[in-house]
Amino acid sequence: MAVPVSPARRCLQCAAFLAAFTVVMTILLVSTDVRVPRSRKLLNLSEDLDFRNVVQDDPQLISYIQAVHLRYPQGSGTIDGNQSAPRLLPLWTPLVAKLLRYKRGGVFVEAGAYGGGRPSDTQWLERSLGWRGLLVQSNPLDFLALRKHTRPGSSCLLGCLSPMPYPKEVSVRNAWKQVPDSPADHLFSRVKCFPLYSLLLAVNTSSVDYLSLSSDGSELQVLKTIPMDRVNINVIGVQWHETRAEDMLSFMARHQYHLKKKFDQFYIFVHQRVET
């Protein structure tokens, strides 16, 4: 016959259980407490995704870019005489056109297009000379601004140029300036980054008349991923903020590019074959 448990004993058992539970949970919380600054708590703190086994010209990678990430032009990209030039024309755009002898039907790649409200390097080339090409923007808000511009000769990609010869996934700010009333001034999202050579293959070209490159400090690393023996780029414009300009100049010289002109922090390089 079972011995009945008194109310007092039941209370003691419950109290012991609660005390043990409290001690265990306290130990767990203390041992797993990782103090992260408030500004970083909005970040995706997972490891960047690297696809190290994927080569730049992998056919499956190229098909994936074409099917999932490219936004294709909505027109033929032919010249429309009724379209006026942008009101804010970058200072170096006329120089690019002059270096290429005002070539019609040229090909461009612009990374960082419409970033931070800036005008596009290539809009005038497309509208006035019938060029076509690829616009790359990693900032989701700037990408929306990019999409608002009617560019019938331009494919678009929300993403960035990888500083490695394989795809990456990274965190980027969703805004180019501080977001009002946000807890940490900025919101972040994850975007895919692809090697430039992979993107060229995705748009079916290996020859580029003008490459405009602005990629938040990774410009030189991006250029180093390009297999120069398989790609022809005539003129390269580089946004270069680093103090060691000789690193960029030395790299470009090894690949037969020389500095044509510098506009503040924007460098225009031309390949020697263009002026021969």
What is the pLDDT averaged over residues 82-102? 79
Q: Which residues pair with 271 in a beta bridge?
A: 257
Q: What is the 3-state secondary structure (H, E, C) of 72-119?
A: CCCCCCCCCCCCCCCCCCCCCHHHHHHHCCCCCCCEEEEECCCHHHCC
| Distance, CA of 79 to CA of 59 (rounded, Å) | 33
Q: What is the pLDDT of residues 183-194, one digit of tens each?
A: 554 577 788 999
Classify 156 as helix, strand or coil. strand
Least confident of 1-15, 57-71, 157-171, 230-244: 1-15
Q: What is the pLDDT of residues 118-174, one digit of tens each?
A: 889 999 999 999 999 999 998 888 888 888 887 999 999 999 999 999 998 887 766
What is the pLDDT averaged over residues 56-72? 93
Q: Are 108 and 122 in contact (CB under 8 A)?
A: yes
Maximal CA-CA distance, the chain: 109
Q: CB-based contacts of 153: which residues, under 8 Å, 6+ apart?
A: 73, 75, 76, 77, 78, 126, 130, 131, 132, 133
What rounded mean pLDDT belongs to the chain?
79
Q: What is the pLDDT of residues 18-39, one digit of tens each?
A: 666 565 454 443 333 333 333 3
Which DSSP helix (H) or strand (E) runs through 199? Answer: helix 196-202
Q: Quote the tokens at residue 110.
A: 């612009």
Distances (CA, A) of 2 to 5, 6, 12, 13: 9, 12, 19, 18
**Domains, the chain, with CATH or none:** 50-75+92-271 (3.40.50)
Could you tell me which residue, 212 or 88, shows the higher pLDDT? 212
| Distance, CA of 235 to CA of 210 (rounded, Å) | 5
What is the pLDDT averaged over residues 230-236? 97
pLDDT of 49 > 70? The answer is no
Residue 262: the pLDDT is: 93
Residue 19: the pLDDT is: 61
Residue 115: the pLDDT is: 82
Provide the percentage of residues in the chain whose pLDDT is more than 70: 71
Residue 39: the pLDDT is: 33
Q: What is the pLDDT of residues 178-221, one digit of tens each?
A: 445 555 545 777 889 999 999 999 999 999 999 999 887 889 99
Rg (CA), the chain: 27
| pTM for this predicted structure | 0.75
Counting every residue, how long is the chain? Answer: 276
